[in-house]
Amino acid sequence: MKFSPDNWQDVFIPEYPVLELIVRGMVLYFFILFMLRILTRRTTGELTAMDLVFVLLLTEAASHALGDFTTIGDGIIMLLVFLLCNHGVNQLTYHFTFFQKIFEHQPLLIIKDGNLNLRNMRKELLTKDELMSSLRENGIENISDVKKAFVEGEGIISFIQYEKKENNGSRKNKEKSE
């Protein structure tokens, strides 16, 4: 049984040409980003068991496309490429609305004035039961209490409720009694 490798260069020096590693990493990064962009918002925001299997299969397929790395150097270069691509996309979406529209989902209206927008719900494959579950999770009992609801870019459903009117006369009476 060996305790250390015979040649440490075999561990750290990349086997593949660095430019090939960079191109492979960039192509896969942007392909996966594109695939996630064309999927519904809920797929990327809420991971169900089916979504988790999808992500695992996606990463497995990507790992084969990256090549069979046997050195740490290859893996480090690929991780650096992913980090740089991610940082670049974040910078572009922060500074330019054009890139923000390309890489990020805009909020999608699903309830307006207590009425469901069935067309937009269909786009997101959002059932009424799933919407009602989100309402309950947010402490809302009835759709008619919702002024607007959106499926946000990251897949979360956000709700804007009508303002609850308080009886001003009773508030003044409370203040006087204190």
> pLDDT of 81-137, one tens digit each?
888 888 888 899 899 999 988 888 889 999 999 999 999 999 988 999 999 999 999
| 87 shares a domain with 34 | yes
| 29 shares a domain with 95 | yes
- Is residue 172 included in any domain, yes or no? no
Helix, strand, coil shares, percent, the chain, to 5? 60, 10, 30
User: Is the distance from CB of 162 to CB of 136 less than 8 angstroms?
Assistant: no
As a whole number of angstroms, the distance between CA 143 and CA 160 comes to 11
With residue 12 as reference, give the H or E element that holds it: helix 9-12
Which string of DSSP letters, residue by residue, matches 37-72?
Answer: HHS-HHHHHS--HHHHHHHHHHHHHHHHHH----SH
pLDDT score recorded for residue 143:
93
| 153 shares a domain with 113 | yes
The number of beta carbons lying within 10 Å of the beta carbon of residue 28 is 19
With residue 151 as reference, give the H or E element that holds it: strand 146-151
Count of domains for the chain:
2
Residue 171 binned pLDDT confidence (cut-offs 50, 70, 90): very low
Residue 49 binned pLDDT confidence (cut-offs 50, 70, 90): low
| 95 shares a domain with 32 | yes
> Is the pLDDT score of 22 beyond 80?
yes
Instruction: Convert the pLDDT of each residue in 93-104 to its tens digit.
Output: 899 999 988 888
> Is the pLDDT score of 50 beyond 80?
no
Range of the domain at 53: 9-103
| 87 shares a domain with 114 | no
In CATH, what number is assigned to the domain containing residue 148?
3.30.240.20
SS3 166: coil
